[in-house]
Amino acid sequence: MVLIAHISDLHVGARNFKEDILLEAIRQINEMEPDVVVATGDLTDNGYYLEFLQVASYLNNIESPLLLVPGNHDARHVGNETFEEVLKEKRSILTIDDKLQVIGLDSSEPDLDYGKVGRSQQLWMENKLKDASKDDLYKVIALHHHIIPVPKTGRERNVLADAGDVLYSIVKGGANLVICGHKHVPHLWRVEDIFFVTAGTVSSLKLRGKDINSYNTYYIEDDRIEIRLNQVQRKSYLMGSYKL
């Protein structure tokens, strides 16, 4: 079995950022001992250099391998350059035990809220999916912006500009799981036998309705995937359990 922990939308530096909630989530995740932790963007609120340094200090507490991708907030104020200087490359790959591969995409655009993968990065993703298929790996795509609209998030805006093309490549390339953040609302879609899962915000109080801070976990076995929503201050809920 492979266990993925998925956090998103930390918004470090915002007035509504809650350090104690983030540290508690990290404590819980470390206790789970996941094979990989994926953070899908908006790690900072303004893309400021000092915010990135704060993010790095928090993420250093995570004891598992870590894959990061930037969000639209991270690309503000030259944050698109600072991200790679302080953290990691904006697109990257992580392979776990010759069983699973996470392909991280940069969907951010400097100083803009909408997202775009872009043709060159889309081709790169297509090639990585082909390679992973040859190696018989379970294929996970991670990016910040949602590809499929998320219910209960109001008027659709700040969407992925090339969502249709990217979705076509993901389906054609045989991806198994697509994870993102951005909307601060956890949700699960199943389309073409691919699971599209959005995470809520792990540590920002910009929450809709009665939502509370949360992160997702994915338990992936040879014949089954279990997707759970973990509320930091309350309970863990099953979002879906499916045979593969």
Assigned fold of 2-243 = Purple Acid Phosphatase; chain A, domain 2 (3.60.21)
Give per-residue pLDDT as tens, 183-205. Answer: 999 999 999 899 999 999 999 99
Contact 222, 244 (CB under 8 A): yes
20 alpha-carbon distance from chain centroid: 21
Whether 47 shows a pLDDT value over 90: the answer reads yes
* Cα 123 from Cα 162, distance rounded (Å): 13
Whether 90 shows a pLDDT value over 80: the answer reads no
Give per-residue pLDDT as tens, 117-145. Answer: 999 999 999 999 999 999 999 999 999 99
Calculate the dihedral angle through the C-alpha atoms of 237, 9, 154, 197, rounding to the nearest 10 degrees.
-50
3-state secondary structure of 37: strand
Average pLDDT over residues 87-94: 84
pLDDT value, residue 159: 83
Contact 229, 239 (CB under 8 A): yes
pLDDT value, residue 29: 98
pLDDT value, residue 44: 98
pLDDT value, residue 91: 82
Q: In the structure, what pLDDT confidence band is assigned to residue 8 with cuts at 50, 70 and 90?
A: very high
Contact 86, 56 (CB under 8 A): yes
Whether 31 shows a pLDDT value over 90: the answer reads yes
Mapped to the 3 state alphabet, what secondary structure does 156-185 carry? Answer: CCCCECCHHHHHHHHHHCCCCEEEECCCCC
3-state secondary structure of 210: coil
Whether 37 shows a pLDDT value over 90: the answer reads yes
Whether 89 shows a pLDDT value over 80: the answer reads no
> Is the overall model pTM greater than 0.85, yes or no?
yes
Helix intervals (H) in the chain: 19-32, 49-59, 79-86, 119-134, 163-172
**Residue 5 phi/psi, 5° resolution?**
-105, 135
Q: What is the mean pLDDT of the chain?
A: 96
